[in-house]
């Protein structure tokens, strides 16, 4: 069942550049469509600055799109900071990369888990102590750790505490923005396993944003690869990772260390272009090793292939089953 749907969302920022402070329009998200379903995870991957985090904020309604729709349970998300939005936000939680920055250093973990219970009037204040202990247990922490301050916990424990706080409102959706990239590799696996357990237990829909393709492949039911504000390939991880169709996906996968790989690796050259000076046609064409003249003139649409995945590339043999654009 689809809980959250982004339909052709676009978000542009105005920035000041240069000696004279000229205004530039930076297109962070340029027409993204995604669906989140209960009990399933969509992984959003791509290089830094490709629009992943902005997409996450648009999904939660923290930012409004310039155009396109975000619907939750079939209803368009209300304007941020309205009563209706606050009521909905209880059902959607965001997990950040930096657990220390996301916690208040002056408050105990228990006090911080009680905050959303009080704000959303969940249970009576007399019950909150017990609820804190239950939430800590759900994320593998001891009841006495409710009395700890953030600096007294390890990075992994802090991320567990943030998950306990997020679960306090019984959310339907978790948007996890690089949730383990600040943690040691050994701790990353523990937190990812915890997320998978919590998803099973609570039927959470997750949007997992990461630059780490390998990690996303381990936990996502569907992976969407973003480049310069657009999804360029989307499908099941097994198909997408074993036979990437888009040259950008191929290059990203080639950059993942793999001792068993044989043959040449299509490494990515150059930096992503400035989003304020978006290339014409396919935005990837200045870095694409197989670009043809058409690529700099015509933007490829994201179209379904026979194997069910979506690809935006003129040369990826994309035959639309329905004969129509999907984004
Ligand atoms: Fe490369 Fe052209 Fe495909 Fe873009 S459309 S990824 S430039 S081949």
Q: How far is the CA of 266 from the centre of ligand 1 (A)?
A: 14
pLDDT score at 98? 81
Spatial separation of the C-alpha atoms in residues 100 and 229, rounded to whole Å: 29
pLDDT recorded at residue 88: 87
Mean pLDDT of the chain: 89
Share of the chain above pLDDT 70, in %: 92
pLDDT (average), residues 226-243:
95
Mutate to test the pocket of ligand 1, among 287, 314, 317, 318 (most ligand atoms within 8 A of CB): 314
Give the residue ranges of DSSP H helices in 206-317: 213-219, 237-242, 247-254
Q: Which amino acid residue places its CA nearest to atom 3 of ligand 1?
A: 313
pLDDT of residue 231: 98
275: Cβ–Cβ under 8 A, 6 or more apart, which residues? 26, 27, 28, 49, 228, 229
CB atoms within 10 A of CB 310: 22
**CA separation (Å) from 161 to 148, 151, 195, 208?**
10, 12, 12, 18
Calculate mean pLDDT across residues 271-276: 78
Least confident of 54-68, 110-124, 148-162, 264-278: 264-278
Pocket of ligand 1 (CB under 6 A): 246-247, 282, 284-285, 288, 290-291, 295, 300, 313-315
> What's the pLDDT at 175?
96
Structure token pair of residue 33: 């469509």
Phi/psi at 206 (5° precision): -125, 140
**How much distance in Å is there from the Cα of 10 to the middle of ligand 1?**
22
Q: How far is CA 63 from the centre of its chain?
A: 14
Cα-based angle 54, 196, 187 (whole degrees, multiple of 5): 85
C-alpha–C-alpha distance, residues 192 and 176, integer Å:
11
How long is the chain? 327
- Per-domain boundaries in the chain: 103-170
- How much is the average pLDDT of 243-265? 79
Atom of ligand 1 nearest to the CA of 246: 6
Q: What distances in angstroms separate CA 134 from CA 61, 83, 110, 157, 164, one per listed residue? A: 29, 28, 11, 16, 9
**pLDDT (0 to 100) of residue 318:** 44
**pLDDT tens-digit series, residues 178-232:** 988 888 888 888 889 999 999 999 999 999 999 999 899 999 999 999 999 999 9
Give the mean model confidence (pLDDT) for residues 164-190: 90
Nearest ligand 1 atom to alpha carbon 283 = 4
């Amino acid at each position: 069942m689809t809980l959250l749907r982004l339909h052709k969302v676009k978000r542009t920022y105005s920035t000041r550049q240069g000696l004279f402070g000229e205004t530039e329009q930076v297109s962070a998200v340029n027409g993204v469509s995604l669906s989140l379903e209960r009990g399933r995870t969509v992984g959003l991957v791509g290089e830094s600055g490709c629009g992943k985090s902005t997409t996450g904020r648009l999904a939660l309604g923290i930012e409004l799109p310039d155009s396109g729709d975000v619907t939750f349970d079939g209803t368009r998300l209300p304007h941020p900071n309205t009563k209706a939005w606050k009521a909905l936000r209880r059902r959607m939680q965001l997990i950040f990369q930096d657990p220390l920055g996301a916690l208040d250093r002056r408050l105990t973990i228990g006090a911080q888990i009680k905050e959303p219970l009080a704000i959303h009037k969940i249970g009576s204040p007399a019950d909150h102590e017990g609820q804190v202990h239950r939430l800590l247990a759900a994320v593998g922490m001891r009841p006495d750790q409710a009395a700890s301050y953030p600096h007294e916990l390890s990075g992994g424990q802090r991320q567990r505490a943030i998950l306990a706080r997020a679960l306090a409102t019984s959310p339907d959706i978790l948007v996890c923005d690089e949730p383990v990239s600040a943690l040691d590799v050994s701790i990353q696996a523990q937190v990812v396993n915890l997320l998978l357990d919590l998803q099973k237990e609570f039927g959470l829909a997750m949007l997992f944003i990461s630059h780490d393709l390998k990690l996303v492949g381990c936990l996502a039911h569907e992976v969407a690869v973003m480049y310069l504000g657009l999804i360029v390939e989307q499908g099941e991880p097994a198909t997408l990772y074993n036979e990437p169709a888009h040259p950008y996906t191929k290059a990203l996968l080639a950059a993942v260390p793999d001792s068993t790989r044989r043959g040449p690796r299509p490494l990515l050259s150059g930096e992503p272009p400035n989003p304020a000076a978006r290339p014409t046609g396919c935005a990837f064409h200045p870095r694409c090793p197989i670009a043809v003249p058409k690529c700099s003139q015509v933007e490829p649409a994201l179209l379904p292939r026979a194997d069910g995945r979506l690809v935006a590339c003129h040369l990826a043999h994309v035959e639309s089953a329905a004969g129509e654009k999907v984004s």
